[in-house]
Amino acid sequence: MSVILTLLAALIASGACAYHRASLRTFAFAAPVATLVVGLVADAPLTMIVLLVIELGIALPLLVGGFRKRQISAPLLKLFAKVTPKLSDTERTALEAGTVGFEGELFSGKPDWHELLKQPKPVLSVEEQAFMDGPVEELCGMIDDWQITHELADLPPEVWAFIKRNKFFGMIIPKRYGGLEFSALAHSAVLQKLNSMSATVASTVAVPNSLGPAELLLHYGSEEQKNELLPKLAVGEEIPCFALTGPYAGSDATSIPDTGIVCKQTVDGVETLGVRLSFDKRYITLAPVATLVGLAFHMYDPEHLLGDKDDIGITLALLPRETKGLEIGRRHFPLNIPFQNGPVRGKDVFVPLGTLIGGREMAGHGWRMLVECLSVGRAISLPSNATGGMRMGAVATGAYARMRKQFGLAVARFEGVEEALAKIGGLTYATAALSRSTAAAVDRGEKPAVTSAIAKYHATEWARVTAGATMDVHGGKAVQLGPSNYAGRGWASVPIAITVEGANIMTRSLMIFGQGAIRCHPYVLKEMHALTMADYGDKLRAFDSALFGHIGFGLSNAMRSFAMGLTGGRLGEAAGDAYTRRYYKKLNRYSAALALCADTFMGVLGGKLKFKEKLSARLGDVLSYLYIASAMLKRYEDTDRPEADRPFLAWGFHECMWLIQNALDGAIRNFPVRPVAWLLRALVFPLGRREVPPSDRLGRRVAALLTAPNEARDRLAEWTYLTPTANNTVGRMNALLPEVIAAEPVERKFLKALKAGEFKAHDYDDQLAEALAAGVLSQAEHDLIRRVRDATFEFISVDDFAPEELRAAVTRADRERRAKVA
């Protein structure tokens, strides 16, 4: 027994040092002292001496800096240099672009929650709120999405004019150039409200404010280019597009085959230095109407007219539409969502060097320019559009489920529908918090490379899930397209968002963990940087410091993961109030588990992990759900901890924990080195998998929030167009909802009398008249259910068409004949 007590003392002291991330000096003192004291008290001298020799034998050599560097770090430095895959220039650029925000804390295994909670609450300025209440509200009132998607396949001329006149294309452009100079939060809010009415309008507004000429000019353009082009872009005098994707290079943008050869050519009698371009691009949003085409190409200088290099690299240019040889092709038709989109081509198109963004000084820097700007655009445009659609879907589905009756009950009362409503409400709350968090990061000056990928992937994927649930609840109402169908186009548009700006499959399997593991890890980037140092002494010192910091980090995370796994994450202090403190503790546990698994996977597999995309994707999922759960908690704090929102928060949080557990389990279960996997399972899940998905009871509470007016539902519907105008079916449904609820007890009384056989009539109107005459209903009650029935009939009805209305104005045969003539 004395031997066991002495061993336990040594283990507990060592474990406590690891758990609290004590220094090596503290460990060298604490573990031997604990061993000595317990060994003497327990009378186990032999065990005590053996343990002291082991502890001091480990600690003392590590404390002698010179010995440690020569005998331990130097050999490991050679091994590390040998096994570490060499980063390509494009990979290094991608890693160096952008910044690390709170996601770095989540990767640390011990997040500092005060860093999250001290971030300022994101709010719109007075000017931005006025824009939301004025021009954005007015534009939403002008939108007829059926006209846009079916009749015109375009925005009406008055909508185009309104967008330009009110500077919707100039939200990111500073006021000194005539733009609105809005915050990222305002940019996000505008897109959310527009997308609640039309994905086509939202996409049209999003692109000029995302990755495109304005963003690139702001960061890299010459003063001459800024002064000439930004004022025109702000008011829509110039319509921009940006051509990156082609038939042979999509997500792999670094492999674009489009070329630009530096050469001289006589232009208007003057010999001009420029670039001869050949390119073939497709899927370019706004290209059919663009007057200014941004172009990415690979630039070469075989005659060395600019310097000694043949291969200059990826370069960006701006081509006016009237450029000779520039061909803007016919329109693409993306899933019946007719935002302007089409191909751009050119063969031997000569442009002067002045068309390069930033001039000749920025030649070859195009990949860095794209990566830095893409992270900002990806953080705003697609997550915001997805959130706007999800918010509108939540409001519409909740109201419809309360109005639609089957078997004498609102369909919202059926558990299957409750389950779909809970999914819609919980995921919408989580996605709204996610999009707000990434927008706030941009406003704080961050360039969120990792979290923008998280936001883009999960916002659009969850939009697909909630759009599917919306279709399920609406049934045939959502299937029949027409002016009164507000769900079908949203469902159709989701795959577009999933595909663009980095296909989601690639984003999940390559980008989130691939960048996050190196950028967010506190030591890996330092170790890799040490390899690049020229002086061996500096290299060894830097590597030694990072290496032993990394070892301590790994041991700490192993101990923290195991200890918190044993206690269900209840150890230690955490932020939050009495309700949310347990949530922060769970995140502490899974942060340690992520850091442990990431270190182990990278350490054991090395460069091979880069090709284990399914493992990387699962670890990326863990980081993503940690970040989303953190964003939800921050939103809860920013809204003054409203008790009414707790069902939304709880559903979203438990869903994230369930998904984290499944991702970790899948990663460990599929790890190829089985003994390591067994050890990881023991450390991460010492008591097995204990997380469960959101309960039915919790789902019922979320569904109840969606199907009745309340403050939590109002907050969920923020930045949604709900004005009950003639063009806004959902707005009118939402306005009717209080009366629908007020009519329910009256309807129950009426149906009870009907089932009792108190009425002789078979027609509903005659039955109502009998109920009024017999005193079953008062005049006010009669008028209420009559009014509600008449009003809801519009919302449960579907459209129909004469056959000629559905025939294409131009058939395929017509197009083939025109092509032959051309």
Pairing of strands 240-243, 292-300: parallel
For 3, 481, 489, 709, 762, the CA distances from 336, given in Å and listed in that order, are 75, 11, 8, 34, 44
How many whole angstroms separate alpha carbon 147 and alpha carbon 444?
40
Residues 110/19, Cβ–Cβ less than 8 Å? no
How many whole angstroms separate alpha carbon 38 and alpha carbon 6?
6
Q: b or e along 53-79 (b: 16 or more beta carbons within 10 Å of the residue's beta carbon)?
A: eebeeebeebeeeeebbeeebeeebee
For 40, 565, 744, 816, the CA distances from 244, given in Å and listed in that order, are 73, 47, 56, 29
User: Could you give the residue ranges of the DSSP H alpha helices within 84-155?
Assistant: 89-96, 103-106, 113-117, 126-131, 137-142, 145-146
How many whole angstroms separate alpha carbon 674 and alpha carbon 380?
41
- 804 is annotated as an active-site residue: no
* Residue 694 burial class via C-beta count within 10 angstroms: exposed 0-12, middle 13-18, buried 19 and up: buried
How many whole angstroms separate alpha carbon 438 and alpha carbon 448?
7
Tokens of 37: 């004291």
Which three-class secondary structure string do you get for 308-356? CCCEEEEEEEEEECCCCCCEECCCCCHHHCCCCEEEEEEEEEEEEHHHE
Q: Is the dihedral of CA 589, 594, 595, 601 positive or negative?
A: positive
What DSSP string runs through 30-93? HHHHHHHHHHHHHT-HHHHHHHHHHHHHHHHHHHSHHHHIIIIIHHHHHHHHHHSPPPPHHHHH
DSSP class of residue 287 equals G
What DSSP string runs through 703-716? HHHHTS--HHHHHH
DSSP class of residue 149 equals I
Which three-class secondary structure string do you get for 638-662? HCCCCHHHHHHHHHHHHHHHHHHHH
Q: Which residue has the tokens 């804390």?
A: 105
Pairing of strands 259-267, 292-300: parallel
Give Cα 695 distance to the centre of its chain: 26
Neighbours of 257 (CB within 10 A): 13
Phi first, then psi: give them for residue 52, nearest 5 degrees.
-65, -40
Element (H or E) spanning 483, and its range? Answer: none
Which one from 55, 103, 215, 501 is the annotated catalytic residue? Answer: 501
User: Could you give the residue ranges of the DSSP H alpha helices within 444-535?
Assistant: 449-474, 476-479, 488-499, 504-506, 513-519, 524-531
How many whole angstroms separate alpha carbon 370 and alpha carbon 384?
20
Phi first, then psi: give them for residue 756, nearest 5 degrees.
-80, -5
Pairing of strands 341-352, 327-328: antiparallel
Nearest of 149, 177, 148 to residue 160 by alpha carbon: 148
Residues 286/340, Cβ–Cβ less than 8 Å? yes
Instruction: List residues with catalytic annotation.
Output: 501
